[in-house]
C-alpha cells in the first residue's frame, strides 16, 4: 500500500502552491511565489528493520514557550523512514536531530503566521483534501480509508493540511514584496535562452493524459484486462483518432472536460514519470501506456518550449468568474452556498453568468461580466488554476475557496497560441522570479528561526 499520509500531503501541496508568479490586474491573479513542498517525509522501514519502540512522552524543545514533544518528533521520524529508505543508514540520533530542527522551523513559521492574523478555514481544508484525492486518482472516501490504514487520524491529517496551507500563505505575504526582477535581468535571461546557454531552466511542456485506473486490490486477471484496454486506446490514438475525444469518452481521470490537457507549465511541475516518458517524444507524439501505482497512462505531448524563446506556444484559456470576498458579515460557508445557488440558476437557464457577475462579483472584472480574457497557465493563484485545468469549455466549477474569497469559475474557451513578445518577457520574468523566490524563502525561514526563542530540553532520566 502507498504511504498515503506523506505522499498525498505533498501531492496536495504541489497542486496548491506551484503556479509560477506573473502579477496580474485582478484579485485572482497570482501575487505570491511558488513555495516548494516540505522535504519528503518517511517511507516504511524495510521488513528487516526492527519494529518501532514505544516512546516516552516528554517535552524536547520550547519554541517561544510552545512545546514540542518527543512523540511528535518520533512520529515524524517514522514517516521520514517510510518515505526515504536511504535514511535507515543514518544514525537514528542524527535523523532525530534533523527532524527536530524541521519541526522547530515549522512551529516558528506558524507562530509568525498567527501574529500576522493568517487563518485557513475548514472549507479551504476540505478543498485541499479533495485536491489530494483527485491528484492521486482516488475518491475522498478511499483517501480517508488509506489515511486511517497508515495509522494517522483524520483530525491529524487535516491539521497537517491546514498548517501547510497557512505556511504557504504566510510565505506568500512575507516574500512577495521583496522579490523583484529587473528588465535587465529579463533581457539577459532571454539572450541566454536563445543561445541555448541556460539549460539549467526546465522547459515548459503541456501533456494530455488518458488514464485507465487500476482499483486497489485488483486481481492479476483484472489488471491484465485493464492493460489490454489501455493498449487498445493507445493504438487508436497513434492511428490518428482525436485524442481529446478519446479522453472524454474513455478516461477514468476527472480531467476529461479539458481533453486530458494538464496545462503548459515547467517540466519540474509535472510527475517525473510523465516527464521521463515524453522526454524524447516530438510534439504531437503519443507515449504509453505508462504504468504507475494508480494505473495506466497514455500520454500526448501537446507543446514544448523553452521560456524566453521565440517559438514558445502555450495552451491559453478564456475564463470568467464571480468573486465573493472574505467578509466579516458573510462567512465562507455562506459565500459557498450563495455561489452554489448561482450555479444552479445558470445551469437551469434562469440566470446568465455574465449578468450575475456584473451584479454580484466583488472583483475588478465585474464590469466585464467577470471576463478575464485569454490567459496562460501560471497567471492565477493555485487554487483557481487547479479548478480551471479541470474544466472544459462551457463548464462551471463548484465554488472554489482561495485566499481572496470564494470563486465561481467558467471556462469559455481554450486554444493553443504563440506567446506575444510581451508575454514571452513575462514568462521569462516568472521563471526568474520563481528561482529568486526559492532563495528568498530560505532567507526568510532563517530569519524567522533566528528571531524565535528556542530552548532544548534533555530527556528525563527514568
Do 157 and 32 share a domain, yes or no? Answer: yes
**pLDDT attached to residue 10:** 38
CA distance 325 to 457: 45
Name the phi and psi angles at 201, rounded to 5: -90, 130
**Contact call for residues 21 and 433 (beta carbons, < 8 A):** yes
- Summarised one tens digit per residue, pLDDT across range 319-347 is 999 999 877 788 888 899 999 999 999 99
Q: Is residue 459 part of a domain?
A: no
* End residue of a domain, out of 140, 157, 176: 176
**pLDDT attached to residue 91:** 85
Which three-class secondary structure state does DSSP give residue 248?
helix
Please calculate the CA angle 160-324-9 and round it to the nearest 5 degrees.
15
Tell whether the model's pLDDT for residue 308 goes beyond 70: no
Do 299 and 341 share a domain, yes or no? Answer: no
Do 151 and 226 share a domain, yes or no? Answer: no
Do 326 and 300 share a domain, yes or no? Answer: no
| Among 51-55, 68-72, 136-140, the least confident range | 51-55
Q: Is residue 110 part of a domain?
A: yes
Do 348 and 378 share a domain, yes or no? Answer: yes
Q: Which residue has the higher pLDDT, 44 or 263?
A: 263
* End residue of a domain, out of 156, 176, 196: 176
* End residue of a domain, out of 305, 324, 343: 305
**pLDDT attached to residue 192:** 75
- Summarised one tens digit per residue, pLDDT across range 204-227 is 778 888 888 888 778 889 899 999
Q: Is residue 461 part of a domain?
A: no
Do 143 and 11 share a domain, yes or no? Answer: yes
Q: Is residue 429 part of a domain?
A: no
Tell whether the model's pLDDT for residue 30 goes beyond 60: no
Stretch 142-153: mean pLDDT: 82
* Element housing 111 (H / E): helix 92-115
Do 62 and 164 share a domain, yes or no? Answer: yes
Q: Is residue 460 part of a domain?
A: no
- Band (pLDDT 50/70/90 cuts) for residue 202 is low
**pLDDT attached to residue 346:** 94
Overall number of domains in the chain: 3
**pLDDT attached to residue 306:** 64
Do 232 and 168 share a domain, yes or no? Answer: no
The CATH code of the domain that includes 325 is: 3.10.50.40
Tell whether the model's pLDDT for residue 382 goes beyond 80: no
**Contact call for residues 208 and 244 (beta carbons, < 8 A):** yes
Stretch 254-265: mean pLDDT: 68
- Band (pLDDT 50/70/90 cuts) for residue 445 is confident
Do 165 and 213 share a domain, yes or no? Answer: no
- Band (pLDDT 50/70/90 cuts) for residue 244 is confident
For all residues of the chain together, what is the average pLDDT? 77
**Contact call for residues 272 and 202 (beta carbons, < 8 A):** no
Q: Is residue 444 part of a domain?
A: no
Domain that holds residue 98: 4-176
The CATH code of the domain that includes 85 is: 1.10.4030.10
Which three-class secondary structure state does DSSP give residue 415?
strand
Closest C-alpha to 88, from 52, 51, 46: 46
Amino acid at each position: 500500500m502507498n504511504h498515503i499520509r506523506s505522499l498525498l500531503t505533498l501531492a496536495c501541496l504541489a497542486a496548491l502552491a506551484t503556479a509560477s508568479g506573473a502579477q496580474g490586474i485582478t484579485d485572482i491573479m497570482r501575487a505570491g511565489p511558488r513555495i516548494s513542498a516540505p522535504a519528503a517525509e518517511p517511507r516504511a522501514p524495510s521488513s528487516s528493520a526492527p519494529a518501532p519502540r514505544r516512546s516516552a512522552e516528554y517535552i524536547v524543545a520550547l519554541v517561544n514557550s510552545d512545546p514540542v514533544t518527543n512523540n511528535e518528533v518520533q512520529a515524524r521520524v517514522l514517516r521520514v523512514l517510510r518515505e526515504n529508505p536511504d535514511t535507515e543508514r543514518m544514525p537514528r540520533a542524527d535523523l532525530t536531530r534533523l527532524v527536530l530542527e524541521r519541526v522547530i522551523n515549522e512551529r516558528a513559521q506558524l507562530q509568525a503566521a498567527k501574529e500576522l492574523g493568517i487563518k485557513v478555514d475548514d472549507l479551504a481544508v476540505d478543498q485541499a483534501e479533495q485536491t489530494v484525492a483527485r491528484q492521486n486518482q482516488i475518491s475522498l472516501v478511499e483517501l480517508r480509508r488509506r489515511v486511517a490504514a497508515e495509522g494517522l487520524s483524520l483530525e491529524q491529517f487535516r491539521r497537517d493540511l491546514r498548517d501547510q496551507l497557512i505556511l504557504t500563505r504566510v510565505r506568500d505575504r512575507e516574500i512577495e514584496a521583496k522579490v523583484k526582477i529587473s528588465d535587465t535581468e529579463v533581457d539577459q535571461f532571454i539572450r541566454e535562452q536563445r543561445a541555448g546557454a541556460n539549460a539549467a531552466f526546465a522547459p515548459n511542456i503541456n501533456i494530455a493524459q488518458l488514464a485507465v485506473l487500476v482499483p486497489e486490490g485488483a486481481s492479476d486477471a483484472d489488471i491484465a484486462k485493464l492493460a489490454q484496454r489501455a493498449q487498445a486506446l493507445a493504438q487508436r490514438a497513434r492511428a490518428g483518432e482525436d485524442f481529446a475525444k478519446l479522453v472524454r469518452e474513455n478516461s477514468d481521470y476527472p480531467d476529461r472536460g479539458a481533453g486530458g490537457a494538464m496545462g503548459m507549465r515547467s517540466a519540474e511541475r509535472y510527475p517525473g514519470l510523465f516527464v521521463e516518458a515524453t522526454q524524447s517524444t516530438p510534439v504531437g507524439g503519443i507515449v504509453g501506456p505508462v504504468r504507475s501505482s494508480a494505473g495506466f497512462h497514455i500520454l500526448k505531448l501537446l507543446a514544448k518550449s523553452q521560456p524566453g524563446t521565440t517559438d514558445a506556444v502555450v495552451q491559453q484559456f478564456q475564463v470568467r468568474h464571480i468573486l465573493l470576498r472574505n467578509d466579516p458579515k458573510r462567512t465562507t460557508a455562506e459565500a459557498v452556498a450563495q455561489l452554489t445557488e448561482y450555479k444552479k440558476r445558470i445551469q437551469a437557464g434562469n440566470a446568465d453568468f455574465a449578468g450575475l457577475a456584473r451584479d454580484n462579483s466583488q472583483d475588478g472584472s465585474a464590469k466585464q461580466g467577470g471576463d478575464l480574457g485569454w490567459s496562460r497557465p501560471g497567471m492565477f493563484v493555485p487554487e483557481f488554476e487547479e479548478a480551471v485545468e479541470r474544466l472544459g469549455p462551457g463548464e462551471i466549477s463548484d465554488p472554489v475557496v482561495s485566499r481572496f474569497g470564494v470563486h465561481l469559475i467558467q471556462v469559455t474557451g481554450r486554444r493553443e497560441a504563440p506567446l506575444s513578445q510581451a508575454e514571452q518577457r513575462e514568462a521569462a520574468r516568472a521563471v526568474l522570479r520563481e528561482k529568486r523566490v526559492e532563495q528568498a524563502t530560505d532567507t526568510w525561514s532563517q530569519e524567522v528561526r533566528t528571531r524565535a526563542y528556542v530552548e532544548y530540553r534533555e530527556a528525563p532520566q527514568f
